[in-house]
Structure 1
Amino acid sequence: MSADTLSHVTYTLDLNPDELLTTTRTVRKRLDLERPVPMELIRECIEIALQAPSGSNRQTWHWLVITDAEKRAAIGEYYRRSVEQYLAGPGAAGKLHADDPERGPVQRRVGDSVAYLGERMGQVPVLVIPCLKVHSLPAGNQAGLWGSILPSAWSFMLAARARALGTAWTTLHLTYEQEVSELLRLPEDIRQTVLIPTAYTIGTDFKPAARQPLDEVLHVDSW
């Protein structure tokens, strides 16, 4: 990115690259639902996100930023319905590893926070939906297709974190993808990927999350 492009960017948090990468959390309960988010900050985050890689450098991405209260409420209602269905199923976060003394309590907290956001998605000041222009979905491997937008979505979340904004990686709204597409008047060849609620956070003291030990998931040269 050129110096001219970066000239207007103001970072609000002093984070080195490792800190940024390891403390960008999915934020649900600590999103500030009352504080407005300046559109200029969102534009800065998307401008940075557009530096992410895309297949063959096609850059067939589009970004929907929803600030209208009625549209946020409508999307929030679709999300709430989908969360309700998800939490009732056997694969819900609060039910996974329920008997594991270490992971069980963490998963129950995740399930509780999912339910919390499910009731409040429509109240989040800004909803961001990265989209991809797709004429038809390939029948086979789609990694290259979605790999052309998901790194950009993650870059948006990192840029938001650097500006004291919180985000969450959510996809449950896609149960109602057609309804949301009609609400937002999307062309037929535009597919939604992830729904990213974006707001200032209540505090900025996020820490690395507990993860599986590296040696349990690392394989060198063969399985």
Structure 2
Amino acid sequence: MTISADELLTTTRSVRKRLDLTRPVPLELVRECLEIALQAPTGGNSQGWHWVVVTDADKRAAIGDYYQRSWRRYYESGGSARRLFEDDPVRAATQQRVSDSAGHLAEHMGEVPVLVIGCISVPGLPQGNQAGLWGSLLPAAWSYMLAARSRGLGTAWTSLHLAYESEIAELLGIPGDVRQGVLIPTAYYTGETFGPAKRQPLDEVLHVDHW
């Protein structure tokens, strides 16, 4: 797939309903994407990340069960995506579509061919602002998603599994001093490619020299 940097950055979408649950994803392709992800920046060049790639059907199903449980609790809460911007009919409709697709993914998470969990080594979570910690993992996770997109793979950024982080850590043998930061379902996608999403105008969120 030949794609410009601007197109790659503006068309890498969260793919949920269009993940192909029947087509195997070669592990070598996932490795290629992770090799690119390892070029991302980390604080002090610490490179404390770890990547757990789950292809085993039983383990994927177990993670999917935990994820679905977490989704149900989130969906029923007042903070779920469908409750945002209820006073704006246009944005409310978009949020409902997001919620519907997220619900679909929750139902099928355990069927996605590859689940990638991005983790980071840390003795204990720091107090206060944790941007320095997660900033040494999350850019690499986004790089993985961009690399996957350029290879015809769909992904989605998810973190609802973290409600069951300890259970999933036990399932996968993740050490106690390694924390999970993101779960990225990975599969080929169905249908045509993707376009840029509608976003807020830049001038509504841009502050130059002063808020």
Considering the TM-score relative to the shorter chain, is it more than 0.5? yes
1:150 aligns with 2:138: yes
1:27 aligns with 2:3: no
- Corresponding letter in the other structure for 1:67: T
Which of residues 184, 195, 201 is equivalent to 1:196?
A: 184
Tell me if structure 2 keeps the 8 A contact 1:98–1:108. Answer: no
- Corresponding letter in the other structure for 1:201: Y
Q: How big is the shift at 1:161?
A: 0.1
1:98 aligns with 2:86: yes
1:177 aligns with 2:165: yes
**CA gap 1:204/1:162 in 2 versus in 1, 3 angstroms:** farther
Aligned mates of 2:100, 2:77 — CA distance in 1? 14
Deviation readout 1:133-160 (Å, 9 max, x if unpaired): 0011111221111100000000000000
- Structure 1 counterpart SS, 2:69: helix
Which of residues 96, 106, 110 is equivalent to 1:108?
A: 96
- Structure 2 counterpart SS, 1:102: helix
Tell me if structure 2 keeps the 8 A contact 1:132–1:190. Answer: yes
- Structure 2 counterpart SS, 1:135: coil
What's the C-alpha RMSD, in Å, of the aligned pairs?
A: 0.7
Tell me if structure 2 keeps the 8 A contact 1:22–1:207. Answer: yes
Q: How big is the shift at 1:68?
A: 0.1
Match of 2:33 in 1: 45
Aligned mates of 2:19, 2:86 — CA distance in 1? 27
Q: Percent identity?
A: 66
Consecutive unaligned residues in structure 2, runs of 5 or more: none
- Corresponding letter in the other structure for 1:96: L
Aligned mates of 1:18, 1:204 — CA distance in 2? 19
- Corresponding letter in the other structure for 1:166: G
Tell me if structure 2 keeps the 8 A contact 1:164–1:204. Answer: no
Q: Which 4+ stretches in 1 moved above 3 angstroms?
A: none
Q: How big is the shift at 1:14?
A: 1.5
Q: TM-score, normalised by structure 2?
A: 0.98
Q: TM-score, normalised by structure 1?
A: 0.93
Which of residues 64, 89, 97 is equivalent to 2:77?
A: 89
Deviation readout 1:9-29 (Å, 9 max, x if unpaired): xxxx22100000000000000
Consecutive unaligned residues in structure 1, runs of 5 or more: 1-12
Aligned mates of 1:35, 1:41 — CA distance in 2? 13
Q: How big is the shift at 1:96?
A: 1.2
Aligned mates of 2:177, 2:78 — CA distance in 1? 33
Q: How big is the shift at 1:204?
A: 4.1
- Corresponding letter in the other structure for 2:207: H
Match runs of 1:114-133 below 5 Å? 114-133=102-121
- Give the length in aligned residue pairs: 211
Bigger CA drift: 89-98 or 180-189? 89-98
- Structure 2 counterpart SS, 1:71: helix
- Structure 2 counterpart SS, 1:19: helix
